[in-house]
Amino acid sequence: MSTRTLRELRSILVRSISRAQARDKVKRNVALLCEIPKGKEGRPSKSLTLDQAEAVLKASKGMALHAYIVLSLLLGARTEELRALTWSHVDLDGTPSSVMVWRSVREGGDTKTRKSRRTLAMPRLCVEALKLHRERQDVARKAAGVNWQANGLVFASKVGTELDVRAVLKKAGLNAKERTPREMRHSFVSLLSDSGIPLENISRLVGHRNTSVTETVYRKQLRPMLLEGAEAMDHIFDLDQ
Q: Cα separation of 75 and 119, whole Å?
A: 11
Catalytic residue among 66, 68, 78, 83: 78
Q: Please state, as a whole number, how many other Cβ atoms lie within 10 Å of the Cβ of residue 29.
A: 16
Q: Cα separation of 175 and 166, whole Å?
A: 9
Q: Cα separation of 98 and 230, whole Å?
A: 40
Which of 175, 218, 171 lies closest to 76, judged by CA?
218
Contact between 53 and 74 (Cβ < 8 Å): no
Is 68 labeled as catalytic in the residue annotation? no
Catalytic residue among 66, 83, 133, 185: 185
Is 83 labeled as catalytic in the residue annotation? no
Catalytic residue among 10, 112, 134, 170: 112
Q: Cα separation of 133 and 139, whole Å?
A: 10
Query: Would you name the residues annotated as active-site residues?
Result: 78, 112, 185, 208, 218
